[in-house]
Structure 1
Protein backbone atom coordinates (compact mmCIF):
# COMPACT_ATOMS: atom_id res chain seq x y z
CA UNK A 1 0.00 0.00 0.00
CA UNK A 2 1.09 3.48 -0.74
CA UNK A 3 -0.53 6.53 0.70
CA UNK A 4 -2.94 7.11 -2.15
CA UNK A 5 -4.02 10.48 -3.44
CA UNK A 6 -7.50 9.72 -2.13
CA UNK A 7 -6.14 9.09 1.36
CA UNK A 8 -4.16 12.33 1.23
CA UNK A 9 -7.33 14.14 0.14
CA UNK A 10 -9.32 12.54 2.97
CA UNK A 11 -6.90 13.92 5.56
CA UNK A 12 -7.16 17.33 3.88
CA UNK A 13 -10.97 17.14 3.97
CA UNK A 14 -10.83 16.41 7.69
CA UNK A 15 -8.42 19.33 8.10
CA UNK A 16 -10.89 21.63 6.35
CA UNK A 17 -13.64 20.48 8.71
CA UNK A 18 -11.55 20.96 11.83
CA UNK A 19 -12.85 23.84 13.91
CA UNK A 20 -15.80 24.56 11.61
CA UNK A 21 -19.37 23.92 12.53
CA UNK A 22 -20.53 23.06 8.99
CA UNK A 23 -18.94 23.63 5.61
CA UNK A 24 -20.03 22.77 2.07
CA UNK A 25 -18.17 20.38 -0.19
CA UNK A 26 -17.46 23.28 -2.55
CA UNK A 27 -15.89 25.26 0.30
CA UNK A 28 -13.83 22.25 1.37
CA UNK A 29 -12.52 21.74 -2.18
CA UNK A 30 -11.67 25.42 -2.52
CA UNK A 31 -10.06 25.70 0.94
CA UNK A 32 -7.85 22.63 0.39
CA UNK A 33 -7.26 23.06 -3.37
CA UNK A 34 -8.90 19.72 -4.17
CA UNK A 35 -10.83 18.60 -7.25
CA UNK A 36 -14.52 18.90 -6.41
CA UNK A 37 -15.47 15.46 -7.79
CA UNK A 38 -12.92 13.68 -5.61
CA UNK A 39 -13.94 15.82 -2.63
CA UNK A 40 -17.49 14.47 -2.96
CA UNK A 41 -16.19 10.91 -3.34
CA UNK A 42 -14.02 11.20 -0.23
CA UNK A 43 -16.85 12.82 1.73
CA UNK A 44 -19.17 9.94 0.81
CA UNK A 45 -16.64 7.42 2.13
CA UNK A 46 -16.15 9.42 5.33
CA UNK A 47 -19.94 9.70 5.74
CA UNK A 48 -20.41 5.94 5.39
CA UNK A 49 -17.76 5.33 8.03
CA UNK A 50 -19.41 7.90 10.33
CA UNK A 51 -16.23 9.97 10.65
CA UNK A 52 -18.11 12.89 9.10
CA UNK A 53 -21.75 13.92 9.21
CA UNK A 54 -23.85 16.09 6.94
CA UNK A 55 -26.87 18.29 7.24
CA UNK A 56 -29.03 19.54 4.39
CA UNK A 57 -30.51 22.98 4.05
CA UNK A 58 -29.51 26.61 4.15
CA UNK A 59 -27.37 26.17 7.25
CA UNK A 60 -26.26 22.70 6.20
CA UNK A 61 -22.91 21.27 5.25
CA UNK A 62 -20.43 18.68 6.40
CA UNK A 63 -19.03 18.45 9.91
CA UNK A 64 -16.70 16.22 11.90
CA UNK A 65 -18.24 13.45 13.97
CA UNK A 66 -14.97 11.86 15.00
CA UNK A 67 -12.63 12.77 17.80
CA UNK A 68 -9.32 13.78 16.22
CA UNK A 69 -7.39 12.59 19.28
CA UNK A 70 -8.58 9.02 18.79
CA UNK A 71 -9.13 8.82 15.01
CA UNK A 72 -6.05 7.53 13.21
CA UNK A 73 -4.60 7.35 9.72
CA UNK A 74 -5.50 3.67 9.85
CA UNK A 75 -9.16 4.63 10.39
CA UNK A 76 -8.99 6.85 7.29
CA UNK A 77 -7.53 3.96 5.25
CA UNK A 78 -10.32 1.65 6.39
CA UNK A 79 -13.00 4.31 5.73
CA UNK A 80 -11.77 4.68 2.15
CA UNK A 81 -11.63 0.92 1.63
CA UNK A 82 -7.93 1.07 0.89
CA UNK A 83 -6.01 -2.15 0.36
CA UNK A 84 -3.61 -2.10 3.25
CA UNK A 85 -1.30 -4.80 1.88
CA UNK A 86 2.19 -3.74 0.89
CA UNK A 87 2.38 -6.73 -1.44
CA UNK A 88 -0.02 -9.26 -2.89
CA UNK A 89 1.60 -12.27 -1.24
CA UNK A 90 0.52 -11.29 2.28
CA UNK A 91 -3.18 -10.90 1.46
CA UNK A 92 -5.54 -13.40 3.04
CA UNK A 93 -6.35 -16.21 0.65
CA UNK A 94 -3.44 -15.52 -1.70
CA UNK A 95 -1.92 -18.83 -2.80
CA UNK A 96 1.78 -18.26 -3.30
CA UNK A 97 3.62 -21.20 -4.80
CA UNK A 98 6.74 -20.11 -2.93
CA UNK A 99 5.07 -20.08 0.48
CA UNK A 100 2.87 -23.16 0.56
CA UNK A 101 4.75 -24.58 3.53
CA UNK A 102 5.15 -21.23 5.27
CA UNK A 103 8.88 -21.27 4.61
CA UNK A 104 9.22 -18.18 2.38
CA UNK A 105 11.54 -15.69 4.06
CA UNK A 106 10.23 -12.87 1.84
CA UNK A 107 6.67 -13.51 2.98
CA UNK A 108 7.78 -13.55 6.60
CA UNK A 109 9.65 -10.25 6.17
CA UNK A 110 6.79 -8.60 4.26
CA UNK A 111 4.40 -9.61 7.06
CA UNK A 112 6.74 -8.09 9.65
CA UNK A 113 6.90 -4.83 7.68
CA UNK A 114 3.13 -4.83 7.20
CA UNK A 115 2.52 -5.23 10.93
CA UNK A 116 4.93 -2.39 11.64
CA UNK A 117 3.24 -0.13 9.07
CA UNK A 118 -0.23 -0.92 10.45
CA UNK A 119 0.97 -0.19 13.97
CA UNK A 120 2.38 3.19 12.91
CA UNK A 121 -0.83 4.12 11.09
CA UNK A 122 -2.83 3.12 14.18
CA UNK A 123 -0.60 5.25 16.42
CA UNK A 124 -0.83 8.35 14.23
CA UNK A 125 -3.89 10.25 15.36
CA UNK A 126 -5.29 13.02 13.20
CA UNK A 127 -4.77 15.67 15.87
CA UNK A 128 -1.00 15.18 15.41
CA UNK A 129 -1.30 15.96 11.71
CA UNK A 130 -3.78 18.77 11.72
Structure 2
Protein backbone atom coordinates (compact mmCIF):
# COMPACT_ATOMS: atom_id res chain seq x y z
CA UNK A 1 0.00 0.00 0.00
CA UNK A 2 1.27 3.41 -0.86
CA UNK A 3 0.27 5.61 2.05
CA UNK A 4 -0.55 3.86 5.27
CA UNK A 5 -2.90 4.72 8.09
CA UNK A 6 0.19 5.61 10.08
CA UNK A 7 1.12 8.19 7.39
CA UNK A 8 -2.39 9.61 7.53
CA UNK A 9 -2.30 9.89 11.32
CA UNK A 10 1.15 11.52 11.27
CA UNK A 11 -0.05 14.19 8.84
CA UNK A 12 -3.18 14.78 10.89
CA UNK A 13 -1.16 15.03 14.11
CA UNK A 14 1.03 17.69 12.52
CA UNK A 15 -2.08 19.53 11.37
CA UNK A 16 -3.20 19.67 15.00
CA UNK A 17 0.19 21.21 15.91
CA UNK A 18 0.35 23.63 12.97
CA UNK A 19 0.17 26.70 15.21
CA UNK A 20 3.60 25.92 16.67
CA UNK A 21 2.22 25.81 20.20
CA UNK A 22 2.63 22.89 22.60
CA UNK A 23 -0.27 20.41 22.52
CA UNK A 24 -0.97 17.38 24.69
CA UNK A 25 -1.28 14.02 23.02
CA UNK A 26 -4.78 13.71 24.43
CA UNK A 27 -5.85 16.97 22.76
CA UNK A 28 -4.22 16.02 19.47
CA UNK A 29 -5.88 12.61 19.48
CA UNK A 30 -9.30 14.02 20.30
CA UNK A 31 -9.07 16.75 17.68
CA UNK A 32 -7.87 14.43 14.92
CA UNK A 33 -9.70 11.25 16.02
CA UNK A 34 -6.55 9.18 16.40
CA UNK A 35 -6.18 6.29 18.90
CA UNK A 36 -3.77 7.44 21.64
CA UNK A 37 -1.74 4.22 21.72
CA UNK A 38 -1.05 4.54 18.00
CA UNK A 39 -0.30 8.27 18.30
CA UNK A 40 2.46 7.72 20.86
CA UNK A 41 4.21 5.31 18.50
CA UNK A 42 3.97 7.83 15.66
CA UNK A 43 5.14 10.81 17.70
CA UNK A 44 8.27 8.91 18.73
CA UNK A 45 9.11 8.40 15.05
CA UNK A 46 8.40 12.06 14.26
CA UNK A 47 10.59 13.10 17.17
CA UNK A 48 13.43 10.82 16.05
CA UNK A 49 13.22 12.40 12.58
CA UNK A 50 13.45 15.89 14.11
CA UNK A 51 9.96 16.85 12.95
CA UNK A 52 8.43 17.34 16.39
CA UNK A 53 9.76 18.33 19.79
CA UNK A 54 8.39 16.47 22.80
CA UNK A 55 8.41 17.66 26.41
CA UNK A 56 7.62 15.01 28.96
CA UNK A 57 5.96 15.48 32.32
CA UNK A 58 2.82 17.06 33.73
CA UNK A 59 3.26 20.26 31.72
CA UNK A 60 4.64 18.47 28.69
CA UNK A 61 3.37 18.21 25.17
CA UNK A 62 4.36 18.19 21.52
CA UNK A 63 5.02 20.90 18.98
CA UNK A 64 6.27 21.03 15.44
CA UNK A 65 10.05 21.28 15.60
CA UNK A 66 10.56 22.95 12.22
CA UNK A 67 8.68 25.41 10.07
CA UNK A 68 5.80 23.94 8.09
CA UNK A 69 7.27 25.45 4.93
CA UNK A 70 10.44 23.40 5.51
CA UNK A 71 8.62 20.08 5.95
CA UNK A 72 7.40 18.10 2.97
CA UNK A 73 4.93 15.26 2.77
CA UNK A 74 7.89 13.09 1.83
CA UNK A 75 9.63 14.02 5.11
CA UNK A 76 6.58 12.93 7.10
CA UNK A 77 5.92 9.75 5.15
CA UNK A 78 9.52 8.58 5.37
CA UNK A 79 9.73 9.48 9.06
CA UNK A 80 7.03 6.95 9.95
CA UNK A 81 7.52 4.36 7.20
CA UNK A 82 10.05 3.32 4.65
CA UNK A 83 10.06 5.20 1.39
CA UNK A 84 6.60 4.75 -0.10
CA UNK A 85 6.32 2.33 -2.96
CA UNK A 86 3.35 1.54 -5.12
CA UNK A 87 4.36 -2.09 -5.59
CA UNK A 88 6.58 -4.29 -3.41
CA UNK A 89 8.78 -5.28 -6.36
CA UNK A 90 9.98 -1.67 -6.54
CA UNK A 91 11.75 -2.05 -3.19
CA UNK A 92 14.21 -4.48 -4.76
CA UNK A 93 15.29 -5.25 -8.22
CA UNK A 94 12.60 -7.21 -9.99
CA UNK A 95 13.85 -10.71 -10.75
CA UNK A 96 12.15 -10.47 -14.13
CA UNK A 97 14.61 -7.71 -15.12
CA UNK A 98 17.52 -10.04 -15.78
CA UNK A 99 19.39 -11.34 -18.78
CA UNK A 100 18.56 -8.34 -20.95
CA UNK A 101 14.84 -8.83 -20.49
CA UNK A 102 12.96 -5.88 -19.06
CA UNK A 103 9.63 -6.28 -17.34
CA UNK A 104 7.48 -3.53 -18.89
CA UNK A 105 5.21 -3.47 -15.84
CA UNK A 106 8.20 -2.79 -13.58
CA UNK A 107 9.50 -0.06 -15.88
CA UNK A 108 6.16 1.75 -16.01
CA UNK A 109 5.54 1.45 -12.27
CA UNK A 110 9.08 2.67 -11.54
CA UNK A 111 8.33 5.82 -13.56
CA UNK A 112 5.07 6.36 -11.65
CA UNK A 113 7.07 5.82 -8.44
CA UNK A 114 9.55 8.54 -9.44
CA UNK A 115 6.67 10.96 -10.10
CA UNK A 116 5.10 10.12 -6.74
CA UNK A 117 8.32 10.78 -4.82
CA UNK A 118 8.87 14.02 -6.73
CA UNK A 119 5.33 15.20 -5.90
CA UNK A 120 5.60 14.26 -2.22
CA UNK A 121 8.84 16.23 -2.03
CA UNK A 122 7.20 19.22 -3.76
CA UNK A 123 4.33 19.53 -1.25
CA UNK A 124 5.13 21.30 2.00
CA UNK A 125 2.95 21.13 5.07
CA UNK A 126 2.32 24.85 4.75
CA UNK A 127 0.72 24.07 1.36
CA UNK A 128 -1.72 21.74 3.12
CA UNK A 129 -2.52 23.57 6.32
TM-score, length basis structure 1:
0.89
State how far apart, in whole Å, the 1-side matches of 2:20 and 2:86 are.
35
1:88 aligns with 2:84: no
Instruction: Please say if residues 51 and 66 of structure 2, whose CA atoms lie closer than 8 Å, have aligned partners that are also in contact.
Output: yes
In structure 2, list runs of 5 or more residues that go unmatched. Answer: none
Runs of 4+ with deviation above 4 angstroms? none
Residues 7/17 of structure 1: CA separation in 2 closer, same or farther (3 Å cut): same
User: Which stretches in structure 1 are left out of the alignment for 5+ residues?
Assistant: none
- Equivalent position of 1:74 in the other structure: 74
Aligned length in residues: 128
2:46 corresponding residue in structure 1: 46
Equivalent residue, structure 2, for 1:108: 107
Seen in structure 2, the aligned counterparts of structure 1 residues 89 and 102 have a Cα distance that, compared at 3 Å, is: farther
* C-alpha distance after superposition, 1:29-67 (max 9, x if no partner): 011111111111111110110100011234321111121
What TM-score does the superposition give when structure 2 sets the normalisation length? 0.90
Superposed CA deviations along residues 78-109 of structure 1, whole A, max 9, x for unmatched, are 100234121122223x451x211352211111
